[in-house]
Amino acid sequence: MGINLEVFKFGMYLMFPIGIMFYFGTNLDARFAVPGFMPKAEHSHKIPFDREDMKAEYVRLIRRQREIDQLRASREGQQTQNQEE
Per-residue pLDDT of 6-64, as tens digits, reads 999 999 999 999 999 988 888 877 777 788 787 787 888 888 899 999 999 999 999 99
Amino acid at site 20? I
CA contacts within 13 A on the Cβ side of 41: 1
What pLDDT shows up at residue 59?
A: 96
The residue ranges of every structural domain in the chain are 2-84
What pLDDT shows up at residue 85?
A: 64
What pLDDT shows up at residue 31?
A: 75
- Does 1 have pLDDT greater than 70? no
Q: What are phi and psi of 67, to 5 degrees?
A: -65, -40
